[in-house]
Structure 1
Amino acid sequence: MIDTPETTPENSADTPVENPITDSPPDRLSVNPRSEFHDWDLLRRGIGIRFNGVERTNVEEYCLSEGWIRVAAGKSVDRKGNPLTIKLTGAIEAWYKS
């Protein structure tokens, strides 16, 4: 019997579809849990950021497509205790550390 696309096990309804983990980080990511761009699983994996040729470890949020990062502005905090951030624009490179 010749396997047709309808009868192959790869296309059966019982087989779960697996989403492979990509080696490129998301376009936008934030460490703030209240942000819509926060993803704990990706942050736990570890992401490295190089901004204008210098590796940065204090990045609060980044966007690759728009070319900016947000970093804490010293020890300043707002009235709710969140760090005040400044937006820096430039060349950004992101990668997974592990």
Structure 2
Amino acid sequence: MSPNDKTPPPLPDHLSVDPQSPHYVAAVFDHDVGIRFNDKERHDVEEYCVSEGWIKVPAGKTVDRRGRPVLIKLKGKVEAFYR
């Protein structure tokens, strides 16, 4: 490995893409993160928790009064990985 290669930090159990969330970890997003939910790869996940088995995804084009997407929680088998 060259000195410029950065090994990614371990993926946390609970992660959010919202910078205002307490579950946001900026170092993780230096690398491409993938989420597999019920054995299908999802590209619209806003937040996940592996141990509790849920993801949050946008509910269509609906937004709240601040312009952020309204999220729904889906329960199932969650796997997080680096692409």
* Partner Cα separation in structure 2 for residue 43 and residue 82 of structure 1: 20
Matching of residue 76 in structure 1 with residue 62 in structure 2: yes
Matches within 5 A, 1:36-75: 36-75=22-61
The DSSP-based 3-state class of the residue aligned with 1:36 is: coil
Name the one with the larger strand percent. 2
Structure 1 or 2, whichever has the larger Rg, is 1
Extract unaligned runs of 5+ from structure 1: 1-19
CA separation in 2, counterparts of 1:69 and 1:87?
6
Please, which moves more after superposition, 24-33 or 80-89? 24-33
> SS in structure 1 opposite 2:23?
coil
What TM-score, normalized to structure 2? 0.86
The answer for unaligned runs of 5 or more in structure 2 is 1-6
How far did 1:45 drift?
Answer: 1.0
TM-score by length of 1: 0.73
Give, in angstroms, the shift of residue 80 of structure 1: 0.5
Q: Percent identity?
A: 52
Deviation track 1:37-70 (CA, whole Å, cap 9, x = no partner) reads: 0112202212110000110000000000000000
Displacement over 3 Å in runs of 4+: none
